[in-house]
Structure 1
C-alpha cells in the first residue's frame, strides 16, 4: 500500500461534509464573541512524506503504506477530546501542517473540519490553511481540498533554482513549483503563500535576489523568507560537516535577508513578522495567533499546543506535546482519546516571556492593552521604562517604547535575537523585584 492519493469519491465525501458544516452553522444562528480563554486556533499534523528533504529534522515519516482511515479516525477523536478538555467554544483558524498534508485525502481534511464544527463554533469564513508540495498538488487535487473547506494554501516552493532544489532533496523542479503556484492562485486568489529559503551552501546574493524578483512576477501577495538552519541528523548537516559542501556564510545570509526585505518593501509588501511579508491584507491569521500568544490546540503525532485546561487552577496554561511516533500515537488515542505525551504548566513569568519574545517578532510589537491582558499590574513602562540598557537600544533606533507600546524599528526587527538578550533579563529582574515586594519582609 502506498501513500494515499486523491480519488473522486474522496472529493464527493468532502463536498457532502462541507455542506453539512454550512447547514449546521446556519441552523445554529449567530453566536456572540467568546472570551480569550474560550478561543483557540487548531493545528493538525499529518506526519507522512514521500521523501525526507536533506535539511529537514521535523517529525515526519516515510512509510511503506498508510492506513488513512485509521489516521483520520484518530485525528477526529483527538480534536474532539482536546476541544472538550480545553473548553474552547470558538476555533478561529485551522492549519493542516506536516509532513506533507497535501498527501492526505480531501476526505480526511473534511472529516476533521466537520468534527470541529460539530464540537464548537467554526465560522464559515475561518482561515483554513493547508501546506502543500508542488509534486503532490495538481490542480484537480487542490480544487478538491478547496471543496473540503481549505481556503488558504502554503506552498513549500523553497527555491526557483533546480540545482538548489536537488541539493535540498526536493522532489519538484522550479517549473513544477510555478505551475502549482499558478493553479493555486486561480483556485485561492489572494490566499496563497510561498516559502523561499536563503543562506544555502554556496548560495550568492545576486542570483538569490534574481529568484526573489522572478517569484514576485508569480506570487500571490504572501512570501515567507526562511534562512537555512543546519540541523544535526540531517543529510545536509553531514555533507557540510564532512566537507563535501561549504558551510553557509552567515554574513551573506544576512545580506540576502536585508536586501530581500528591501525588495519586498519596494514591491508593496508589509513585513508583518520577522520572516513573513504580505500585501493587500494577505497575512496569515493562524500564525498571527501564535505571535499574539493566543491559545492553540495541537492535534496529531508530535503536535504542540498551548491552552488552559478546563477547571485548572494555579497556572495560566499548559504547554502540551503529543506522542511523536504515529503508530504509538494512534494506540494512545484509541485508549485515552488523545495522545498527549507531555504536559508542562506555564508559570506567569514564563508566559510573559513568550508574550515578549513572540510579540516583538511582529511589526506592531506589543501594545499596552495586549500586555495588560496577560499582566495587569506590571506595565511595559514599569519593566522597560527606566532601564539604562533599554534606553540605549531606544537611542540607537532599534526599539520604540511610546504610547502605543513596545516594538522593534525596521532596523531592530532584523536583529531581534540580540535585542532579546537585553529585554528578557530586564523582564526577569522586574518580575523578581515585584515578587520580593509582595513578600512580607522581602
Structure 2
C-alpha cells in the first residue's frame, strides 16, 4: 500500500494533469474559468464512531469491524460517479465529516482526493477539512492526514470541563482536547477550528464564559458555538425526561450565546455566520458554499446530502439528493449502480429562493442584490420586501437592514433569525404568487 505522502503526490500530479487538460491556447496558458454551474464543494461522510455520544441523534454506526478497503473503494467510486453526473469540472473544497472521520485511515482520505483530482480540477490550494475527535487524533495521526492532503482541521472539543464531557458521553478529557489542539495548530497553523457547546443541563453563564475565555488562550482563528438541543431517542433526552438532569434553560442559553458573541468580538473574531466566528480571514470556504446556496455533492452513507444540477446526465433542474442511510446497503448500491443515491428531489424556483433567503441571512453579509439576481433576475429584493408593513416594522426595530447592499440581519437580529424568517418567508411566498408572469417569447 502506498504511503500517505505518496498518495498526496499522486493527487498533486492528477491536479496538474487536469489543469493542463483545461488550459486554453494563448492568454499565458491560464486555466479557463469555470461557470458557477460547473463548480461545487464536495462533502464526504464517514459514518462510524467509537461510541454514540449521549446528545447525538445523527445517523452513525458503531462498527464491529470495518472493511475499510471496501468502504474506500465505494467512496472513490461514488465521488467519481457524482462528479460525472453533475458535470462539475472544478471542486472548490472537500470536507470529510461524520461520524468520526479521524477514525478512517489517511490512505482513504488520500484515495478520495486523488480520485477527485483525476475526475475534475481540484486546485492545490483548495480547502480540505477533516473533522476530528481528540481521542482519535494524536499528533502523529494528524501529520499523516496532512501528508494525505488535509489542510484544515475541525476539532469536536465541545467543553473544557471534564464533568460536562462525561455528561455528553465524550471519550476525551479537557487535557486531551488541549493536547490535540496544540498538535493541530503546529501541523495546520491558522487552519484549525474548534467547537464549543453551550446550554447544557445545569450549566451556568459565568462557568461557561470562563471556559470560553480559557479557550481563547489556546485556540486558533476559528470557533463554532453550538447550543445543545435535546433530541428524542438520545440518552440525554431520556435523563432530562426522567428528572435525572435539570431541564434546559433557554433564557440562560440565550444569555450565554449573547455574551459569548461579545467576548469573541472583543477578541477580534468576526461573527460571519450564526454559529461561526473567525479572525485573520479564517472563514470556512466549504461551509460558505452552503450558506451561499452553491452546488455541493454529498458522498457516502448515512444520508449524505447534496444540491446540484445533474448537467452530466442531461438535467437542467437543481436537485436535492440524499444518499442511502445504512452503510452495508449503501455499499451494495454503489457496487451495482456506481452511487447510493436514495432520494432525488427536484427543487422548484420558489424552493430555491427560500433556501437562498434562509441560508444567506445566516451570514453577516446577508443576501446581496447581486447574489439574489443570480437566482431570480426579475423579482428583486425591493419588490419582495420593500413595501411590506411587517418587514418595515423589523427594519424600524433595528433587527433587519434593507439597503443598496441587500437584505441582512443586524447584530441584534442575527440571534433571533428564526423568528424573523417567520415573517420573511411568507412575504416571499406572497410576492412570488403575485408576481407578473414574464412574457412568453413569440407569444
Q: TM-score range by the shorter chain?
A: over 0.9
Contact 1:134/1:172 (CA < 8 Å) preserved in 2?
A: yes
Could you say if the C-alpha distance between residues 99 and 79 of structure 1 is closer, same or farther in structure 2, counting changes exceeding 3 Å?
same
Instruction: Report what 2:154 is aligned to.
Output: 154
Give a deviation string over 1:88-119, Cα, whole Å, max 9, x none. Answer: 00000000000000000000000000000000
Which whole-Å CA distance do the structure 2 matches of 1:134 and 1:434 have between them?
A: 53
Q: Deviation of residue 24 (structure 1)? A: 2.9
2:12 aligned to which of 8, 13, 22: 22
Instruction: Report what 1:71 is aligned to.
Output: 71
Give a deviation string over 1:275-306, Cα, whole Å, max 9, x none. Answer: 00000001100000000000000000010000
Which whole-Å CA distance do the structure 1 matches of 2:381 and 2:437 have between them?
A: 19
Are positions 1:341 and 2:345 aligned together? no
Instruction: Report what 2:380 is aligned to.
Output: 379
Q: Deviation of residue 313 (structure 1)? A: 7.6
- Give me the CA root mean square deviation: 1.4
Q: Comparing 315-324 with 297-306, which one deviates more in the overlay?
A: 315-324
Which whole-Å CA distance do the structure 2 matches of 1:154 and 1:281 have between them?
A: 16
Instruction: Report what 2:237 is aligned to.
Output: 237
Which whole-Å CA distance do the structure 2 matches of 1:112 and 1:312 have between them?
A: 22
Give a deviation string over 1:44-91, Cα, whole Å, max 9, x none. Answer: 000000010000011110011000000000000000000000000000
Instruction: Report what 2:392 is aligned to.
Output: 391
Contact 2:159/2:211 (CA < 8 Å) preserved in 1?
A: yes
Q: Deviation of residue 195 (structure 1)? A: 0.1
Which whole-Å CA distance do the structure 1 matches of 2:13 and 2:88 have between them?
A: 21
Q: How many residues align?
A: 429
Matches of residues 157-306 of structure 1 in structure 2 within 5 Å?
157-301=157-301, 302-306=303-307
Instruction: Report what 2:41 is aligned to.
Output: 41
Q: Deviation of residue 436 (structure 1)? A: 6.7
Instruction: Report what 2:323 is aligned to.
Output: 322
Q: Deviation of residue 397 (structure 1)? A: 0.5
Which whole-Å CA distance do the structure 1 matches of 2:312 and 2:290 have between them?
A: 23
Instruction: Report what 2:102 is aligned to.
Output: 102
Q: Which runs of 5+ in 1 are unaligned?
A: 1-8
Instruction: Report what 1:407 is aligned to.
Output: 408
Which whole-Å CA distance do the structure 2 matches of 1:355 and 1:390 have between them?
A: 18
- Give secondary structure in 1 for the equivalent of 2:280: coil
- Give secondary structure in 1 for the equivalent of 2:96: strand
Per the normalisation by structure 2, the TM-score is 0.95
Could you say if the C-alpha distance between residues 388 and 315 of structure 1 is closer, same or farther in structure 2, counting changes exceeding 3 Å?
farther
Which whole-Å CA distance do the structure 1 matches of 2:348 and 2:296 have between them?
A: 17
Q: Which runs of 5+ in 2 are unaligned?
A: 21-29
Which whole-Å CA distance do the structure 1 matches of 2:285 and 2:251 have between them?
A: 32
Contact 2:46/2:101 (CA < 8 Å) preserved in 1?
A: yes
Contact 2:157/2:195 (CA < 8 Å) preserved in 1?
A: yes
Q: Deviation of residue 311 (structure 1)? A: 6.0
Which whole-Å CA distance do the structure 2 matches of 1:43 and 1:126 have between them?
A: 13
Which whole-Å CA distance do the structure 2 matches of 1:276 and 1:151 have between them?
A: 19
Contact 2:221/2:278 (CA < 8 Å) preserved in 1?
A: yes
- Give secondary structure in 1 for the equivalent of 2:172: coil
Q: Deviation of residue 32 (structure 1)? A: 1.9
Give a deviation string over 1:239-280, Cα, whole Å, max 9, x none. Answer: 111111111100000000000000000000000000000000
Instruction: Report what 1:423 is aligned to.
Output: 424
Contact 1:315/1:348 (CA < 8 Å) preserved in 2?
A: no
